[in-house]
Chain A
Amino acid sequence: MIGKVGWSAQRSRESMDDLERLYKTHYAAVVRFLYRKIWDADRAEDLAQEVFIRAMAHRPEKPRAWIFAVAANLARDEARAAIRRKKHLTLLKDDPIPLSTPDPSADDAVEHDERWEQVSGALATLTERDREVLLLWDAGLSYPEVAAQTGLAVGAVGTTLARARKRLIEAYDKMGFQPAHAARS
């Protein structure tokens, strides 16, 4: 028979194990989610780690929804701080943007940068709510989890998501992306 202290310790260990699993599977998603809000890769990683550290202290019942809720709040605070420090988010485009290929050609790098700017520009045209729902969905949250975080009804998540997808694609197409090499030829 497990005593009260033993049961509590076991439960705490299980909760920590769950959190560790969640950390391994969702860390990258949280970083991406934060990055798409604050556009600073290093800061996004810092904040993602802070989110999980807080989760360790709080041991939330629904950890996946909780970490994205905390991440959204931290991103909001960060954006406010950025405005305060007069660091416009787009200034970060001066930073070299890591590329997905190890040794990209100059053309590929230019093309990547252009596409990055157009996608982020298209994302910026969405309303805050549409953007939030889209990013949460892309981070892997279910409709009920997105609804709980945004305050929408579960039924409204589908509507918002459908609208957000359409608007993102429309805005991106309107910008008329042309690959650099295609534009020259």
Chain B
Amino acid sequence: MRHVPEVELHAYLDQALSRSQCVEIETHLATCAHCHGQRDEIAALRDRTTALLGQLTPRSLILPPAFETLAARKPVVAAAAVWRDRFRRAGLWAASLAAAVGAGWAGRSVFDSHPTPPAVASSLPHPLPVLLADPVADLARQATPIPIQEHPTRFVAARPAGYRQADAIAPAPTLQLVAALLPMHEASPTGPFAVTHPDTHSPFDRIWRSVTWEEALRIAGSGLPFIEGLPVVGVLLQPGAAGERPTVIVAQQDPGGEVIQSIEGPVAKVSELLDRQATPDLHASEPARTTPDYVEGPGGVRRTLRILSVTGRLPVDSLNALARLATIR
């Protein structure tokens, strides 16, 4: 006599079988003690599973709020969902654009017979590799630790007069909320690296570029973050919208060989970059406010908040301490 397979008994008890299959099994169970016993065992197992999962209930009584209340919230949440979709789409575009630029950049480095002028990155024993989709993670992963040596032009021995400390640290534990609430400013790119796509309105339409410190200074004009006393091993820059300063990531190496990135830019952009660093060992300091951008538009002057965060594979306390040393030119 063929016994009923265990999986079928589970499905039978879960009422996942057709009527004819149920009849067939019930007929068999009436005459087969073995299968009958197994059915009872599985029923007990099933009941016990339900009882155990029942322990994992947040409250003994879960009452839904009135349906009308929910309907009133609909437009707000729907708008947030639209922005999330835009971010996602923009991220995909940024990834493909970055890959294309990276490939072109790599090809240029291979085929260009003219020596490039000396720069921070090119003076390193290991030049920075081609950019991938995620600039922060990319930089953290690929900036090869170098032996600490004298770099008179890279080290900032003393704070020059034009430098000032970042503004008072204002912890922003709800950065994600801030990013969700603040709509991204519509891209209105300028500068030689600006690229737009007609379907998106996100600043991630613009391309990240690996630049030398001098180039970064020239393009950014101001707003370059760095930690005093650490050599710069790479700079990534993304031009901002009209009237906005660019978003900058400066990678530096600490004495232990760890690569630290200082990210400075508009709140939404920095939040997005921090979002992408979803690896357990990569931490970020509490964001600190830096000088905001004041952008003139049709409705008058608009203020765009900017923040600075220091990330790396160090404890958060260490990164917070480093962030306090960070300087914005």
**Chain A residues within CB distance 8 Å of chain B:** 20, 23-24, 27-28, 31-32, 35-36, 41, 44-45, 49-50, 52-54, 56-57, 80-81, 83-86, 98-100, 115-116, 119-120, 122-123, 134-135, 137-138, 142-143, 157-159, 161-162, 165-166, 168-169, 172
Contact = CB atoms under 8 A, between A and B. Distances in A.
A31 B60 CA distance: 12
Dominant secondary structure at the B interface: helix
A28 B54 CA distance: 12
B280 interface: yes
B57 A52 contact: no
B283 A159 contact: no
Contacts of B74: 53, 56-57
Contacts, number: 112
A116 B56 contact: yes
B50 interface: yes
A24 B64 contact: yes
Nearest to A135: B53
Interface string B1-21: 000001110110010100000
Contacts of A158: 7-8, 10-11, 14, 16
Interface stretch (B89-97, B147-155, B217-225, B270-278): B270-278
Interface residues of B, number: 41
Nearest to A144: B16
Nearest to A100: B60
A50 B62 contact: no
A59 B62 CA distance: 24
Given A57-B74, A165-B10, 6 more contacts: A20-B67, A45-B58, A50-B77, A84-B275, A143-B14, A162-B6
Interface of B: 6-8, 10-11, 14, 16, 42, 45-46, 48-50, 52-53, 55-60, 62, 64-65, 67, 70-71, 73-74, 77-78, 81, 173, 176, 274-275, 277-278, 280, 283, 316
Contacts of A24: 64, 67
A126 to B, nearest CB: 11
A162 B62 contact: no
25 contacts: A28-B62, A32-B56, A32-B58, A45-B58, A49-B70, A53-B73, A54-B78, A57-B77, A84-B275, A98-B58, A99-B60, A116-B56, A123-B53, A123-B56, A137-B14, A138-B50, A158-B7, A158-B8, A158-B10, A158-B16, A161-B14, A162-B6, A165-B45, A165-B49, A168-B52
B53 A36 contact: yes
A119 B53 contact: yes
B81 A54 contact: yes
